[in-house]
Structure 1
Amino acid sequence: MADTAPATLASTDFNQCLLDLQQGKYGSEGGRDNRGNEVDVANATAISYEMCVTACGSGQEAFNWSAFSQEFSSWLLPWLALISQLPFGANEKLDNFISVLLAVGSPTLAAYSVMLTVLNSRWVAGLFHKLKYPNVQSAVRILSSLQQGPVRIDHSDPSLLPSLVVLPQNDQWWKGMRKRLEYTHTWTVSAATSIAWVFIAYVFTIIDSFTANIEQLVEVNGQGVGSVWLWLLPVVISWLQISPKCDSERLDEAFEETNMTAFVATSESTQPVLASSRDGHRAIYLEHRDGPLYTDERCTAPIFNYSRVFSWAVMTEEVVNCFRQASKRARNSRPVGEGQWVQDDHYDRISKANRTGTAMQVQEYCQYYPTMQRRYRWGSGVWSRIFVASLMALFLQWGTTGAALVIVILTPTQGLGCRSAAYLAYATISTLIWGLLLLSTVLAHYSTFTATYTNSESAMLMDDRSHDHESLRLRIAVDLSIAFRRFATVLAGLNALGILLTNIFQFSGFFDRCYCNSSVFGHGTKSAYNVISFQANDVSTMRQAWIGGVILAVGSATVFVGVLNLLINPSQPEEN
């Protein structure tokens, strides 16, 4: 044995090991059947783990470049190419690269951001649905599109936002912003080709699994790989349908150019002036804050929508409330100023004469008082949307990865082995990353929102001890938010690398060794065994498991896309 050990470590031949065992070369111990029961070595179709290491060595079977290149190019490369169809949009290449790592490292986060974006858009449309006021349709589309940016409302002048909503001079602002945000990131020849390539490759994977010699496909096959990557297909298709406005340069240009046309009411007369003629303050703007707390929020790649859910919802709530109050007063035929209601020639149109007034009048018309905006701390219904988006994301993640687990675990030797443990770790870490980033977002919004009001009138009523206690809580929240985000990002990079290495190891035969083939993780070293010769019932069980895995993976992806299509493109309010 000592003379042959180096050779077996370099290139293991399990069939020869079983033949040697059956011939009694290693004594009468170590023989197993395909259920792990001890049998006479002459009748053995499997070998115990301990005997496997002794007889075959601890190395892998010989590397086959032809098999590796064929499997890699057919079953993994199409998925890697499809990653390029994910929406990016950040100025920095590093930010786009991190968005790729987050998507591959945490499919849960990628699916969560997709579903959350659709639910947010539907929520906005629902809030505006019954409102009758000019520009409501444009407001829905603009607010939905601004989920990809760190959008804020300027509270320095309480007449800025009401002026934007009420004044007829700002109709051009709403039309201009809507037009600039109507560019699309949608279906292209490249995207369609990539999706078709992946779909065809997955179909071929399934066909090969059921038509080729199944013993040749047990260790190196695309069934598990195709299932564990299948989440990418519905995510890419969903983003192409949503068409997120994530180009950071175009977002900046849209605000820079459109805000130059914004008017604001004055306290002296009913004649508004251009906001740009007074100062640099605008009602709605993009806030590119410095500091590690706002790193993800600044990045316009749609996967980072998770980091803007609370700030965007709060901003949207304020805009909607202004439109709601204006619509309510217009429905009661109340003009902004002190004059009489002027009926327009078109009965369903609000005359511009009814929408003119001083700064105080437009503010009163919208019932807009920034000191009261603390009530919009999280945004209405945001937690229910987070719950639904989380549920669908976890369903897609564990549906596709669960399919890969079913396929691998029920392939002899049945049980938790290297391949299935790697898939289980991938999905678990993916879920952990999503959880950490969601918690980081909650802490970041809590600290930012609370800090905004520490100098408000209500904060002035606190004594020094209460103020110090509040400051300590804010610092802890900020530090934890940054720590969770950084840890999750690093973890995503490692998880993305881990799943790539897992697939490469599977195709190269690295997992085709005694330890992995014996499912030691599941059985333990004493009870583990390596099935080498497959029986008819093994083949039947494998085929059933693989059919179930395909149904689970495809079904999960189909349900995700189906639910998204039920929610996408909600009915828009009628333009007044």
Structure 2
Amino acid sequence: MRHIKMIQLCLLLIMSLRGAYAVNITDRFLEFIRNANQTLNATGLVSATGEQVANVRSDILNATGFTYRACLQACGAGTEAPSWGNISQQFGAWLLPYLALISQLPFGARHRVSNLMSAILTVGSPVLAGYSMILTILNARWISRQFQDVTFPNAEDAVRILKSLQQTPLRITKKGSLLSSLIVLHENDDWWSKTAEYLDYVHTWSILSATSIAWVIIAYLLTVASSLADVSANINSNGQGTGSVWLWLLPIVIGWLQLSPKCDYTRVKKAMDNVDAVAFVATYDGIVKASELSETRAISIDTIVEEPPSPDEDLTPPVYNYARALAWARSAEDVLNGFQMASDNARAHIPVKNDAVWANSNRRNIIEPCNRLGNPYDVDTYCQLQVARSPWASGMFYRMFKASVLPLALQWATTGAAILVVWYTPTVGLGCRSLVYLLYGAMSTIVWMMLVLSSILSHYAAYPDQRYTLYPYRRHASYPFRRHASYPYRRLAHTSYPDGHLPAVRLAKVLANVLRWGGKSLAVVNAFCIVVSGMLQFTNVYDNCYCNSSVLGLGADYAYDIIFPSDSQVDQTRAAWAGALVLGCVTSGGFIFYIYLLNDLPPK
């Protein structure tokens, strides 16, 4: 309620500031016609098509508008006098429901400022919000499919855990046999099952979220129906363009409610801490708890030990998934590779311990615990985890491309619907209102491009020297040997510079920071402008000679302001508004349906 009162005060302030310059353009136009009729001088008067009216009394009286310069002569630079009744009605019907719906976005960051910034980022770049959402689903589907052929114990729990940790800075540690021990040792079965269980919580539909969504939908449809029934009423301050440009928020909120992201940092951190005591590591002195050796864990969300490449990666609201996706996919693929190699060895009945004999089980698809015992060298060799490799997970850029298509379509369909509404509102053409919507869509797209490029550069800068691979080896029947610890690596990219001081790396870090700061700053400006522009429209700030005459599109010499639209113009406007309604609703509905289809993850 406090925020709503502040918005109302802002509207009153705008009214008071504009009141000194308010004019009644309709009265000034009628006065202009009377003067022209008395002098039989129709200079400045135009017909519905913008053509100059002849110096004939009947034509003068039937004039529907005047040129931009004649409007300036009659009205000056003033705007139409605002009406509080119209302002409150338009604001409450078109903009307020969307502002309330923002509260249903998923948050969960450790600090309120981060939650606020996530809401601003979402409003400032709907493309980024949709991109993060679809990329989250595509990554979940990718890792689920990759694990389908893995039969090693705990593989199903591993998939659930990896998918649940997409909203956190996932860290994988292979050093000290941590990851290989976590995968291989049967003592860690409890860790996998309990972690998956603790992370298996749902934050989805509630009465509040359902009510907010229903409010937006019903208010939008009823208000659209009312505006289509009486197009001429408040035609220049009508909020249908505002309602259309915000329509993207519905599928974004509904999509996140369908996905139920695990973005509550406190809850996820507590879940990971609860299983800390049941993680074991293989040592040459036997199996010990990981907590007895160090604070480092094989799978963690701790960014204290390893600083994230981008500060946004540490923020749990899902809109920041754009910054985490590359690192998450790389970490998830490390876990996948370990499980795949262990599964291949198990299918070949090769035990973990060197020179041991495989103990067959009387039950199908069951691996006896004695087959999963070994020292650090044994478990590392069994999983064959690469010490370092390419920083890019397989198929990552293709998934990023796929995740970009529909959000761009949603952004420009809703923005295009808003532009369509005001473009075909007389006078037809590019004006102040349509320019605002065009800039909003363009800036939203630019913000998305800048932040995604920033995430790529940050990830590259964090892993500049990871172009290594190991010579291929398998503990398979056809490759019975074991790789010795001193077996050499083959480096794919060579440089004489220390890793952190590569010129390309330093440049990538600088560019990543500049793009991230610039993109987020632009998002703040974009979010502020789209909210303020709606308020300005409701307070008739755009209802002046310059904006009503579409000077931006027609030019000052050819621009004109239609005061009394003809029946054909009203019909054209109604058709454009109806088309905008269909365009925005169909695209939003298609986005929701696509999310519903993608969220049907393949079974493990």
Q: Which amino acid aligns with 1:429?
A: M
Q: Which amino acid aligns with 1:567?
A: L
Aligned to 1:182: 200
1:285 aligns with 2:316: no
Aligned to 2:567: 536
1:332 aligns with 2:348: yes
Aligned to 1:133: 152
Aligned to 1:409: 423
Shift of the alpha carbon at 1:42? 3.6
Aligned to 2:337: 321
Q: Which amino acid aligns with 1:447?
A: A
Aligned to 2:77: 58
Asked if the contact 2:389–2:466 (Cα under 8 Å) also holds between the matched residues in 1, the reply is no
- Secondary structure, aligned partner of 1:216: coil
Higher mean displacement: 146-155 or 388-397: 146-155
Shift of the alpha carbon at 1:70? 1.2
Higher helix share: 1
**C-alpha root-mean-square deviation of aligned residues, in Å?**
2.2
Aligned to 2:385: 368
After superposition, the Cα gap between the structure-2 partners of 1:30 and 1:293, relative to the gap in structure 1 and judged at 3 Å, is farther
After superposition, the Cα gap between the structure-2 partners of 1:551 and 1:20, relative to the gap in structure 1 and judged at 3 Å, is same
For 1:390-437, what per-residue CA distance to the aligned partner results, in whole angstroms no more than 9, with x for missing partners?
A: 111101100111111111101111111111100000010000000000
Aligned to 1:549: 580
1:267 to 284, 301, 317: 284
1:216 aligns with 2:233: yes
Q: Which amino acid aligns with 2:287?
A: P
For 1:220-246, what per-residue CA distance to the aligned partner results, in whole angstroms no more than 9, with x for missing partners?
A: 223111111111000000101111111
1:23 aligns with 2:23: no
1:35-114 residue pairs with structure 2 within 5 A? 35-40=49-54, 41-114=60-133
1:340-489 residue pairs with structure 2 within 5 A? 340-370=357-387, 373-375=388-390, 377-450=391-464, 464=496, 466-467=497-498, 471-489=502-520
Asked if the contact 1:8–1:56 (Cα under 8 Å) also holds between the matched residues in 2, the reply is no
Aligned to 2:13: none
The size of the alignment, in residue pairs, is 558
Q: 5+ unaligned residues in a row in structure 1: which ranges?
A: 1-6
Q: Which amino acid aligns with 2:330?
A: V
Q: Which amino acid aligns with 1:173?
A: W
Aligned to 2:260: 243
1:153-192 residue pairs with structure 2 within 5 A? 153-157=172-176, 159-192=177-210
Aligned to 1:294: 310
Aligned to 2:557: 526
Aligned to 2:134: 115
Higher mean displacement: 529-538 or 472-481: 472-481
Aligned equivalents of 2:342, 2:307: Cα separation in 1: 38
Asked if the contact 1:244–1:302 (Cα under 8 Å) also holds between the matched residues in 2, the reply is yes
Asked if the contact 2:174–2:385 (Cα under 8 Å) also holds between the matched residues in 1, the reply is no
Asked if the contact 1:267–1:358 (Cα under 8 Å) also holds between the matched residues in 2, the reply is yes
Aligned equivalents of 1:131, 1:451: Cα separation in 2: 30
- Secondary structure, aligned partner of 2:263: coil
For 1:177-211, what per-residue CA distance to the aligned partner results, in whole angstroms no more than 9, with x for missing partners?
A: 11121122211111111001111111112211222
Shift of the alpha carbon at 1:131? 1.3
- Secondary structure, aligned partner of 2:294: coil
Shift of the alpha carbon at 1:459? 8.3
Aligned equivalents of 2:86, 2:43: Cα separation in 1: 34
Shift of the alpha carbon at 1:292? 9.3
Aligned equivalents of 1:354, 1:115: Cα separation in 2: 41
Aligned to 1:503: 534
Aligned to 2:15: none
Asked if the contact 1:24–1:42 (Cα under 8 Å) also holds between the matched residues in 2, the reply is no
Aligned equivalents of 2:380, 2:296: Cα separation in 1: 17
After superposition, the Cα gap between the structure-2 partners of 1:23 and 1:423, relative to the gap in structure 1 and judged at 3 Å, is same
Aligned to 1:207: 225
Shift of the alpha carbon at 1:333? 1.9
After superposition, the Cα gap between the structure-2 partners of 1:29 and 1:461, relative to the gap in structure 1 and judged at 3 Å, is closer
Aligned to 2:249: 232
Q: Which amino acid aligns with 2:276?
A: N
Shift of the alpha carbon at 1:345? 3.1
After superposition, the Cα gap between the structure-2 partners of 1:264 and 1:8, relative to the gap in structure 1 and judged at 3 Å, is closer
For 1:486-530, what per-residue CA distance to the aligned partner results, in whole angstroms no more than 9, with x for missing partners?
A: 111111111111001110011111111111101111111111110
Aligned equivalents of 2:378, 2:490: Cα separation in 1: 26
For 1:111-147, what per-residue CA distance to the aligned partner results, in whole angstroms no more than 9, with x for missing partners?
A: 1111111111111111011211211111111101111
Aligned equivalents of 1:461, 1:564: Cα separation in 2: 40
**TM-score with structure 1 setting the length:** 0.93
Shift of the alpha carbon at 1:255? 2.2
Shift of the alpha carbon at 1:75? 1.5
Aligned equivalents of 2:166, 2:495: Cα separation in 1: 38
1:304 aligns with 2:320: yes
Asked if the contact 1:9–1:57 (Cα under 8 Å) also holds between the matched residues in 2, the reply is no
Aligned to 1:4: none
Shift of the alpha carbon at 1:294? 2.6
**TM-score with structure 2 setting the length:** 0.89
Asked if the contact 2:239–2:534 (Cα under 8 Å) also holds between the matched residues in 1, the reply is no
Q: Which amino acid aligns with 1:183?
A: Y
Shift of the alpha carbon at 1:9? 6.9
Shift of the alpha carbon at 1:467? 4.5
- Secondary structure, aligned partner of 1:264: strand
Aligned equivalents of 2:502, 2:290: Cα separation in 1: 35
Shift of the alpha carbon at 1:457? 7.7
After superposition, the Cα gap between the structure-2 partners of 1:442 and 1:551, relative to the gap in structure 1 and judged at 3 Å, is same
- Secondary structure, aligned partner of 2:556: helix
Aligned equivalents of 2:495, 2:414: Cα separation in 1: 55
Aligned equivalents of 2:495, 2:62: Cα separation in 1: 84
Q: 5+ unaligned residues in a row in structure 2: which ranges?
A: 1-17, 55-59, 469-487
1:256 aligns with 2:273: yes
Asked if the contact 2:440–2:526 (Cα under 8 Å) also holds between the matched residues in 1, the reply is yes
Q: Which amino acid aligns with 2:350?
A: R
